[in-house]
Structures are given as C-alpha cells and as structure tokens.
Chains A and B, each alone.
Chain A
Amino acid sequence: MKPQTIPIYTQTEADYSVGNIRALLTEIAARLERLANDGTSASIDLNSLPFAPGEYERLRHALGKGEVSAHIEAIGPSEITETRYPGVWWVTHYNVEGDIVADMLEITTAPEILSSQPDDIRSGLALLHIQLKEEVQQ
C-alpha cells in the first residue's frame, strides 16, 4: 500500500492555523508585484516549506483555480494550473508511480516546462523531415 493511498482525513477547523499560509500569501504578493513591475519571474518550492496538517489544502483553496490548466505526460504526469491570480501558476510533477517529485508555485507569465524545448524542436523537425520523405516516396 502506498502512503498516499492511506486515507488521511485532516481536520480543517476555520480557526486552526499556525499562520504559515498568511506568510506564504504575503510572499506570493511580493513576487507578483515584481512580476507586474519589471517582469521578474520567481518560483517557490512548496516541498521545502513547513505546513501544518490542513494548511496545504488551505493554500489550494486560497489560490483557487484560474483560466488555464494543462497536463503533461513526461516520465509521469505533471499538472500545471493557473491560479485565480493571473501570473501565479501551480506546477506539480509526479513520477510514473504517482508520487509527487516536485511541487512549486511559479510566478511568471507562463511556466517554462510548457514551452517546447529547442532540442525537442530539432529532433521533432528531423522526424517530420523523415515523414515528409516517406510521404513523397509514397
């Protein structure tokens, strides 16, 4: 049994918080302000932050869901969602077994992982050329 499948019910009382979420939201606001002013992107590694039980869910709730959500399949799935606040992206990478391997907030216009990588473009182009050749031969 994987630890993630053990049902854990977190009690989320309205008044139970140790204040980590407020601190994090303040940081996000500061980073977003820089993005708005001079286009500096930033990311926050959620794996390295202390969360009390229930606080992670509270953060999800606080940031909400925005207009864009994307799914990547590359050695395991990845979920990329723009939050309710444009410019704040929630990027979660899973491995093939479904464990979270990286979980971060990216404060940027679009997360880099979504862009096509130059190396991939080149190898894709090569493939396309091969296919074209085959089409011509047929």
Chain B
Amino acid sequence: MNDHDAPIHEKNSHEFPIHETLGDSLAQQGISRRAFLKFCTAMASLMALPPGTATAIAEALVKAKRPSVIWLSFQECTGCTESLTRSYSPTLENMIFNMISLDYHHTLQAASGYGAEKSREDAMKNFFGKYLLVVDGSIPMNNGGVYSTIAGRTNLDLLHEVAKGAAAIIAVGTCASFGGIPNAKPNPTGAVAVSDIIKDKPIINISGCPPIPAVITGVLAHYLTFGGLPELDDLGRPKSFYGETIHDRCYRRPFYDQGKFAKTFDDEGARNGWCLFELGCKGPVTHNACATTKWNGGTSFPIESGHGCLGCSEPHFWDAGSFYSALSMPASPLKYVAGAAVAGAAAGVAVSIGNRIKKGTAKSAHQKATIEDLEK
C-alpha cells in the first residue's frame, strides 16, 4: 500500500480541515440551530446531565474541535467495539465523522497492513500531546508480553509508545479498565489493566463487559463539550454513569424492600417480576447505568429480562463466586467445617480427659482424715 493513500485524516483534510470546529461542520451540512439544540438535548440526556444544560452544551460544542482518536485493541474479544457500533444515540457515523477523527482502529478502519500502522504513526506525530487514546482489552505481561502482538510488537510496547503523546487515555471495557476475564484466576498470560502500566496520564475507565454503548459515546461527548474528563469515582469511572448501583436504580427495588424475592427462575415470584437478589443478582455492588440507560436502544436490561446482574463493570467480577449465589451467601464452598468439627470435638475430648486425669490424681492423692488426725 502506498504512503499517500493510508492516513484517513490526511485524505479527509481536503474536504474537512482538521482544526475545523463542530459548529462549522454542522453549518456546512445545513443543520439548523433548532436541530442542533435537539442534538444537544440528546447529548445532555446521554451524559446524564440535567436537561436544562442543553443550551450550554450547544454553545460549547459549536466551538469544539474534532480530536484525533487512536484506538488500540489488545487482549480482547471485540465485544466492546461491537457494543459501540450498536450505539444508537448518536449514531456511529455521526459520532465518527462529526465529533472525532478516528485515525486508527483495527476493526473499523479501511486501511490495512503497513498503511494502517502508518496512519497511527502520522496521527501520533501530527497531534502529539493532543490525541485521545482509546484502549480495549487487557495487556499480557508474562514472558515479555508475547501472548498478544500487533504487527509483530507486543501490546505492552505499543501501549507505552502511543500513551506517551496522548492527552488522555480512555480504557473501554472491563479488560482495559481492570484486567477483566483474561485477568481472572489463574491469569495465564499475566493480564493487567491499562492503569497498572501507565501512571502519568489521565485515564478514564469505562468498564462493563461490554460497556453500555451510550456510555462510551457519552464520555467522548463530554470530552468534546467540556474539553476534559468528567468527574471520576475511585476506580476511575465517570460518576455520571457509574455513580449509582444497578440496585439503587432498579425498577424491582421496591420488591427488595418488601422482602419479595424470586426463589427460582420459573416460580411465581419470577413471573411476578420480584427481586432477583436470591438468584445471585450482583446489582447491589455493581456500579453502572444499565437500569436507566438500558440496552439495545433502550429496549431492556438483564434484570428486566429476568436474569440477575453479573456485576461485569466491577473489578474481579469473574472471581467473585458463582453468578447464581446471593451476595449474602458464601462465595466459595466451606472447606474447613468438617475438619473444624472433628478438631473441635477432639480438643474437647482431649481437654476433658486431661481434666479427668487431674481429678483422678487428686483423688488418689487424697488421704482419709481420721478422728485422731483432727484431734492432733
């Protein structure tokens, strides 16, 4: 492939100057202010901002510049990209062409081979310090990271190189955020999260297996609108989406409070839509927006479909015991009970034998007192 036909942004730059603002691009396309206000209302709703902020967002977005985005896929299943391409609002084409300049993405880019790598290198050079780095997938560390390579280079190597010039890193999915399934015991590849490797860049974790598409686009929208990262929780996740638990926003919550629980997946309680806590729902300890943003364009979410939450947006969810054991139940079988019972009984018997021996000795050492003894 020739040098001149690979980099996406250079090709586009004839029609759309790289530094043009979103407002310019909208005006060129003949989009009215009312239409734009509507778009911003959708954005505010997406970012879980108060509905009244649409006007402020419109003002900010009109001046926003399209950032260059480099997307690196490491040890992953492409589920996160699948999720994103099913992002309903705003549509993917909209997002990519109007809001960001996606200069490198394995699965989505047209360029391949050397051309693909060249477009990444060009974006890194041209927008050093300004581009956004999106990572999905964990990074294997064992044996020099040989378990996952791109163009002959390990993920670790590539991450270090691309992270250097990034303005911020967005870790998409639980693998990139916390290590995810590759990191689950026994973790044969030594998989770790982005934040375990890169320490000197702002990192935002959009966890979930996969993350809610609207959350990925919502964070990008926030970056565009406010020019920075949203407020994060202590695990680096945006509070506007991960600030509350599934349980707290669940429409079945009233049943939890009333003590009405489904006991099996096909009993009366399950049919009545009662709380799934006893069937292992991890909603109470899972921070995500599924209960309100929902999936597939707002159709439903796991609990609405009658299955408990797996807790996929939390670290180590894979190793937190069975998906079907309630939070108040043991996460692993009790191993020591039988041994402890035997040991306890044995200890009791041993001590009591000791006591008896002591008593016996005392008894045999006992001497009868006679009247003569007393009269002495």
Contacts and interface: CB of A to CB of B under 8 A. Distances in A.
B91 interface: yes
B23 to A, nearest CB: 10
Nearest to A4: B297
Contact of B51 (A43, A52, A72, A96): A43
B91 A74 contact: no
Interface stretch (A58-66, A99-107, A128-136): A99-107
Mostly, the B contact residues are helix
Of listed A48, A96, A116, residue having the most chain B CB within 10 A:
A48
Given A74-B38, A95-B90, A104-B45, A48 B32 contact: no
Given A18-B254, A99-B89, A104-B51, A3 B297 contact: yes
Contact of B34 (A3, A6, A120): A120
A58 B267 CA distance: 26
A113 B32 CA distance: 12
Contact of A50 (B35, B44, B250, B296): B250
A101 B298 CA distance: 9
Contact of B37 (A49, A104, A112): A112
A102 B41 contact: yes
A20 interface: yes
Given A113-B41, A120-B33, A120-B34, A50 B297 contact: no
Contacts of A118: 33
B307 interface: no
Interface string A1-30: 011101010000000001110000000000
29 contacts: A2-B297, A8-B299, A18-B255, A43-B51, A44-B51, A47-B292, A47-B293, A48-B45, A48-B293, A49-B292, A50-B250, A50-B253, A50-B292, A53-B273, A53-B304, A75-B35, A75-B39, A93-B38, A93-B41, A95-B88, A100-B297, A101-B89, A102-B38, A102-B42, A104-B45, A104-B51, A112-B37, A112-B55, A113-B37
Interface of B: 31-35, 37-39, 41-42, 44-46, 48, 50-52, 55, 88-91, 249-255, 273, 291-293, 296-299, 304
Given A101-B45, A103-B45, 9 more contacts: A4-B297, A18-B254, A45-B45, A48-B292, A74-B38, A75-B31, A93-B41, A95-B88, A99-B88
Q: Please give me the 7 A-B residue pairs with the lowest Cβ-Cβ distance, nearest first.
A: A74-B35, A117-B33, A101-B42, A43-B51, A101-B89, A3-B296, A50-B251
